[in-house]
Amino acid sequence: MAAKKKTTTKTKTTAAKKKSDKKMTNNETAKKQVTKKTPSKTTDKKAEKQQPAEEAAKKAKEQRLAEEAAKKAEEKRLADEAAKKAEEKRLADEAAKKAEEKRLADEAAKKAEEKRLADEAAKKAEEKRLADEAAKKAEEKRLADEAAKKAEEKRLADEAAKKAEEKRLADQAAKKAEEKRLADEAAKKAEEKRLADEAAKKAEEKRLADEAAKKAEEKRLADEAAKKAEEKRLADEAAKKAEEKRLADEAAKKAEEKRLADEAAKKAEEKRLADEAAKKAEEKRLADEAAKKAEEKRLADEAAKKAEEKRLADEAAKRAIEIKRVIREIAEQEAKEAESTASQVQKQNNTSDAKPKPMAAILAGIAFVLLISLAVGASINNSKRFYIKQTNAGVEIWKGQFSPKNTQKVILLEGLHLPKMTQKIYSKQEVFPITFNYYLDMANTLIKEQGLPDFQPIIDLVGKASYFATTPEEKETISLYEKTIHEALTNIKSTRIVLPGQVQEQEAIPVSLEAAPEEQSVPVPATIEPSLEEKDAPVAVEQTHETENAPSAIEATPEKEPSEIHN
């Protein structure tokens, strides 16, 4: 901005100077005209005397104008700086106002939270007071022959009070931890807010301490009242004390036995949960290993695929070189024959112009055979290619036909959604596991439904999955499914259906499926992990089209014959 002001001042000064020079030039012209009209010696002397004075006046005027222009530029710069400072002050005031509004809002929210906590504490205190009064009235009504029941109720009440106290302390600790976290975050934003939060925290702690002291005092008074009532009851029923003691000892013994039994059951439950956690951890480890192996297999397949593509490209390059060499040799040979038999060729041309050259026909035949071989090779390669397309209805799988570019949709997996894929072309080993796991997941969903499952749809889905089993492990999985379903149908009342999976421990699911374990599915390749959302997978086959418009994903629904898909 200063540079701009400086440039403006310089421009104004230059303009004033030019104006002054122009005026001076006009004066000199006028003087010359006057001198020409009155050419006298006296006039010349006067002009010579006046010229220095006029030049001095002119210079003084130019200097004054320059000073005025500089003064105006300085005044403009000062005005701009004052305006800038005023704008900065306005922005600072707005920021301070917003900060103050935020602080007031935070304080209001904090006060509302404190009021809510106070209301809850008061409500809990009132509930405890009513419970203590009810316990006191029940204690006054008890009979001597119910000593065992009293002891048990007292023990349970103490445990409940202990748990309530532990929960209260845990809530207080959690609350303090949350307050500390909020205070730490506030300290990063502003020191003033941190001091305010610390003051609020101290006030909250003091309030909680006062509430705790008040509750302790109320509990002490209640305990004293209960103690006095108990002493009066013992004094009034001294004759029955021995019997009551015996009954109390028996009740305490039973209570202890029950407590020990509960602890044993609790330990057994903890052990069972620990075993389940270990089992799940092992299953996760095995699943991770399977995913890792699948990823390694995918990488190896990709490397093999790239190597095969490179080999084919090298072969095509070699064929092209060989074709060029043969054509060149034939052309050279033909040129030699043409030179040696020029006269004969001329005579043949004169007699029959329509007769073709023998070597040209051979050349055309060789080129035709080479083109046919290249087209057949491209068709074979295209027939081994698969494409995947993700649509709103699900995943479509396309397969190349025995032609250089045409493709045909072979299956639609409805409800299946795959992650974003980077490949455009897939092999059979990459595509078939998607359909295999799709149908097995649908079969597992039907098996795990509540109640007795309908086995026919399950058998159909397992049969469809078997069409796409390519590895020995997948074929073994299909055999386990078929064997288990056959056993379940043979003895439906006692058989448990086992979901075969590629894990060391197989999970058994009752036929009734009332206590079915977690869902289990056969791992899929790490590159493509399908997520099943719908059950049905109808078959759809569409007309062929060029590969350039083919999708970058594969879709499958076995309405097409399995043998055709495999081929």
286-330: per-residue pLDDT in tens? Answer: 878 877 887 888 888 788 778 877 877 777 677 767 777 766 777
Q: Is the pLDDT of residue 7 over 90?
A: no
Instruction: Specify the pairing of strand 531-532 against strand 545-546.
Output: unpaired
> By mean pLDDT, which of 150-154, 454-458, 516-520 is the weakest?
516-520
Q: Is the pLDDT of residue 104 over 90?
A: yes
Taking residues 47-71, report their average pLDDT: 87
Taking residues 366-394, report their average pLDDT: 80
SS3 call for 406: strand
- Please state, rounded to an integer, the average pLDDT across all residues of the chain: 77
CA nearest neighbour of 504 among 276, 285, 271, 298: 285
- Phi first, then psi: what are they for 520, rounded to 5°? -130, 140
- The pLDDT tens digits for 403-415 are 777 888 878 888 8
Structure tokens at 84: 């800038």
* Percentage of the chain exceeding pLDDT 90: 26
Q: Quickly state the pLDDT bin for 365 (edges 50, 70, 90).
A: confident
> By mean pLDDT, which of 59-63, 129-133, 367-371 is the weakest?
367-371
CB 441 within 8 A of CB 520: no
Taking residues 191-211, report their average pLDDT: 89
Q: Quickly state the pLDDT bin for 81 (edges 50, 70, 90).
A: very high
The residue ranking higher by pLDDT, 378 or 254, is 254
**Which pLDDT score is estimated for 556?**
40
Considering 58-72, 229-243, 390-404, the range whose residues carry the highest mean pLDDT is: 58-72
Structure tokens at 153: 């109720």
CB 386 within 8 A of CB 426: yes
The residue ranking higher by pLDDT, 346 or 367, is 367
Q: Is the pLDDT of residue 441 over 90?
A: yes
> By mean pLDDT, which of 99-108, 124-133, 178-187, 459-468 is the weakest?
178-187
Q: Is the pLDDT of residue 493 over 70?
A: no
Q: Is the pLDDT of residue 206 over 60?
A: yes
CB 66 within 8 A of CB 16: yes
- The pLDDT tens digits for 511-565 are 433 333 333 333 333 333 333 333 333 333 333 333 333 333 333 444 455 555 6
CA pseudo-torsion sign 147, 149, 152, 155:
negative
Taking residues 268-276, report their average pLDDT: 87
d(CA 216, CA 414): 66
CB 91 within 8 A of CB 99: no
* Percentage of the chain exceeding pLDDT 70: 72
d(CA 363, CA 333): 12
Burial class (CB in 10 A: 0-12, 13-18, 19+), 377: middle
The residue ranking higher by pLDDT, 365 or 174, is 174
Structure tokens at 80: 């701009």
**Which pLDDT score is estimated for 347?**
67
Taking residues 229-242, report their average pLDDT: 86
Q: Quickly state the pLDDT bin for 150 (edges 50, 70, 90).
A: confident
**Which pLDDT score is estimated for 349?**
62
> By mean pLDDT, which of 128-142, 185-199, 521-535 is the weakest?
521-535
**Which pLDDT score is estimated for 530?**
38
- Phi first, then psi: what are they for 397, rounded to 5°? -115, 125
- The pLDDT tens digits for 425-440 are 888 888 899 999 999 9
Taking residues 461-481, report their average pLDDT: 92
Taking residues 121-135, report their average pLDDT: 91
SS3 call for 306: helix
The residue ranking higher by pLDDT, 321 or 463, is 463
CA pseudo-torsion sign 400, 401, 406, 411:
negative
SS3 call for 356: coil
**Which pLDDT score is estimated for 508?**
40
* Interacting residues of 504 by C-beta distance below 8 A, sequence separation 6+: 282, 286
Q: Quickly state the pLDDT bin for 46 (edges 50, 70, 90).
A: low
Taking residues 230-255, report their average pLDDT: 88
Q: What is the DSSP letter of 146?
A: G
CB 62 within 8 A of CB 17: yes
Structure tokens at 456: 């026919």
Structure tokens at 272: 């069972």
Taking residues 197-207, report their average pLDDT: 90
**Which pLDDT score is estimated for 72?**
94
Token look-up 């050279």 returns 332
What is the total residue count of the chain?
A: 567
The residue ranking higher by pLDDT, 344 or 284, is 284
Token look-up 């205190």 returns 125
SS3 call for 396: strand
**Which pLDDT score is estimated for 529?**
37
Helix residue ranges per DSSP H, 190-240: 191-236
Q: Is the pLDDT of residue 61 over 60?
A: yes
**Which pLDDT score is estimated for 116?**
94
**Which pLDDT score is estimated for 165?**
92
Q: What is the DSSP letter of 453?
A: -
**Which pLDDT score is estimated for 117?**
95
**Which pLDDT score is estimated for 384?**
76
| Buried-exposed string 516-532: b where 16+ CB fall within 10 A, e elsewhere | beeebbbbbbbbbebeb
CA nearest neighbour of 438 among 407, 461, 470: 461
**Residue-range domain boundaries for the chain:** 385-495
The residue ranking higher by pLDDT, 533 or 373, is 373
- Run of H or E residues at 280: helix 241-340
**Which pLDDT score is estimated for 521?**
38
Global pTM value: 0.30
Considering 68-72, 144-148, 254-258, the range whose residues carry the highest mean pLDDT is: 68-72
